[in-house]
């Protein structure tokens, strides 16, 4: 049987023992540490509340080998590909979810850490140019190399999402230089995540995401700092300031929609009504957080961001301030190849109009006047989509198609 001690690391000096996660190859259990259970600090209020006493068995199923809150700390997509490459280079053909978490140890997104750690715990350094790291990431993405640079595993291993990316540190004053990987940063550095373009992307993919973030901010959505990094031989990459690392060595616990609902986001679609109810429960009835989630829902509909699956929404826990909705992330033009968005609005997945949005608001206890005000603010921003695209020099056919799609979606919401 394999066991991992689960801890919350809000800072180097603030560590809390959460409990024990165990597996025997077929079954998985978790048990809260009695002192943590008595603390009242919920890490997963909906599906793993502190009220569950003793040994809690997790029903293992495809895509969800461990409880959702811990599965959030385990990367998917790109990060998991890097981890499995690292295991293969060790001569290990496969790994369990607990082995993945042990490899990461304290080098995780969010604030959950796992002990004992089995992976490299190297400090951040500047041993490679960022463009070289991006070039190697592209080769890994295209399966053109068999051996993955250890520094890319450290930089990209903890991250999620399908696209190649890396966790890096950038100087707070905007000066030159960078550090790669997950880990504590020295004073004067901030934690960032950078997305690299792939061979299948058009050349404006990074700048278009920056335009969407700008548009989201105009719509009243809280978005993190972001910038475009021009990498020699690679092109534009999109970098975003990490909101789970607020600075000063602090870490925040993050729970995704998939983690909160304890589901595999690739198999289970949701409705924004579910997420609005989840927000109200997680944030202990704070209606301002419900309004923020409603605003995000309206924006995703208006801005044709149909890749709004349950990993692309989340909540942050600060031990001093409690739960709140995370800033918006992965906001970009993303039409669904399935023809329907991942997260529906009152069961509607395409061509969503004003009536569906207002019905959604009513079901969440949002007053009609508030809902209309948010709808007007969001659609005023998305109606100016071409100005945002022009600001970031997005003029190719994909960007033009994006502008037309957003204008149509915005018009539907105004009728």
CA nearest neighbour of 18 among 4, 117, 57, 99: 4
In Å, how far are 267, 322, 342, 365 from 286, measured between CA atoms?
30, 11, 26, 12
Lookup: tokens for 181: 């990987």
56: helix, strand or coil: strand
Q: What is the domain partition of the chain in residue ranges?
A: 2-115, 130-241, 253-414
pLDDT tens, the chain, 415 aa long: 799 999 999 998 999 999 999 998 789 999 999 999 999 999 999 999 999 989 999 999 988 999 999 999 988 766 666 776 767 767 766 678 998 899 888 888 899 999 998 766 554 444 446 666 666 676 665 666 556 545 555 555 555 556 678 888 889 998 888 777 667 788 899 999 988 887 788 999 999 999 999 999 999 999 999 999 988 877 899 999 999 999 989 999 999 999 999 999 888 779 999 999 999 999 999 999 999 999 999 999 999 999 999 999 999 999 999 999 999 999 999 998 888 999 999 999 999 999 999 999 999 999 999 999 999 999 999 999 999 999 999 999 999 999 999 999 999 999 8
**Rounded CA gap, 415 and 410, in Å?**
9
The pair of structure tokens assigned to 355 is 């009536």
Residue 317: which of 290, 269, 284, 356 has the closest Cα? 284
> Which helix (H) or strand (E) covers residue 364, if one does?
none
Please say whether the beta carbons of 193 and 157 come within 8 A: no
Give the whole-angstrom CA distance, residue 268 versus residue 161: 16
- Quick check: pTM over 0.75? yes
What are phi and psi for residue 86, nearest 5 degrees?
-65, -40
Characterize 45-57 residue by residue with b for buried, 16 or more Cβ atoms within 10 angstroms of its Cβ, and e for exposed: bbbbebeeeeeee
Is-cis flag, bond preceding 116, omega within 30?
Answer: yes
- For residue 86, the 8-state DSSP code is H
As a whole number of angstroms, the distance between CA 65 and CA 412 comes to: 41
pLDDT tens per residue, range 2-41: 999 999 999 989 999 999 999 987 899 999 999 999 999 9
Helix (H, G, I), strand (E, B) or coil at 58: strand
- Provide CATH code, domain 253-414: 1.10.1070.20
**pLDDT, tens only, 134-164:** 666 766 656 665 565 455 555 555 555 566 7
Contact present, 392 and 207 (Cβ < 8 Å): yes
The H-assigned helical ranges of 59-165 are 68-71, 78-89, 97-104, 130-141, 150-156
Residue with the two structure tokens 């826990």: 317
DSSP 67: -
- Is-contact 193 225, C-beta < 8 A? no
Rg of the chain, C-alpha, whole Å: 21
Sequence-distant (6+) residues with CB within 8 A of 149 are 128, 133, 136
């Amino acid at each position: 049987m394999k066991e991992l001690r689960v801890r919350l690391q809000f800072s180097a000096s603030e560590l809390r023992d959460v409990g024990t996660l165990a597996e025997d190859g077929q079954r998985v259990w978790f048990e809260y540490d009695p002192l943590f259970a008595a603390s009242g600090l919920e890490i997963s209020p909906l599906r793993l509340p502190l009220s569950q006493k003793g040994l809690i068995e997790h029903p293992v199923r495809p895509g969800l080998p461990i409880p959702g809150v811990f599965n959030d700390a385990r990367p998917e997509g790109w990060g998991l590909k890097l981890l499995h490459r690292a295991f293969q280079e060790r001569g290990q053909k496969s790994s369990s979810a607990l082995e993945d978490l042990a490899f990461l140890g304290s080098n995780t997104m969010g604030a959950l850490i796992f002990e004992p750690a089995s992976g490299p715990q190297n400090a951040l350094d500047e041993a490679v140019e960022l463009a070289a790291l991006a070039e190697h990431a592209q080769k890994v993405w295209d399966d053109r190399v068999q051996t993955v640079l250890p520094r890319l595993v450290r930089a990209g291993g903890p991250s999620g999402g399908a696209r190649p990316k890396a966790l890096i540190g950038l100087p707070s004053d905007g000066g030159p230089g960078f550090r790669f990987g997950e880990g504590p940063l020295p004073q004067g550095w901030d934690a960032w995540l950078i997305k690299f373009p792939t061979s299948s992307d058009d050349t404006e993919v990074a700048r278009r995401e920056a335009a969407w973030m700008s548009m989201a901010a105009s719509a009243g959505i809280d978005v993190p700092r972001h910038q475009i990094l021009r990498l020699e031989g690679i092109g534009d990459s999109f970098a975003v300031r990490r909101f789970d690392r607020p600075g000063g060595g602090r870490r925040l616990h993050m729970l995704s929609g998939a983690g909160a609902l304890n589901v595999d986001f690739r198999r289970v679609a949701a409705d924004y009504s579910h997420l609005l109810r989840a927000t109200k429960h997680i944030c202990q009835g704070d209606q301002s957080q419900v309004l923020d989630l409603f605003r995000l829902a309206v924006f995703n509909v208006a801005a044709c961001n149909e890749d709004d699956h349950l990993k692309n929404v989340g909540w942050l826990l600060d031990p001093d301030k409690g739960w709140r909705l995370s800033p918006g992330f992965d906001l970009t033009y993303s039409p669904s190849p399935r023809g329907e968005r991942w997260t529906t609005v009152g069961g509607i997945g395409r061509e969503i109009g004003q009536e569906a949005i207002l019905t959604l608001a009513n079901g969440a206890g949002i007053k009609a006047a508030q809902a209309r005000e948010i709808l007007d603010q969001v659609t005023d921003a998305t109606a100016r989509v071409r100005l945002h695209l022009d600001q970031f020099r997005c003029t190719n056919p994909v960007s033009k198609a994006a502008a037309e799609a957003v204008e149509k979606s915005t018009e539907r919401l105004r009728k």
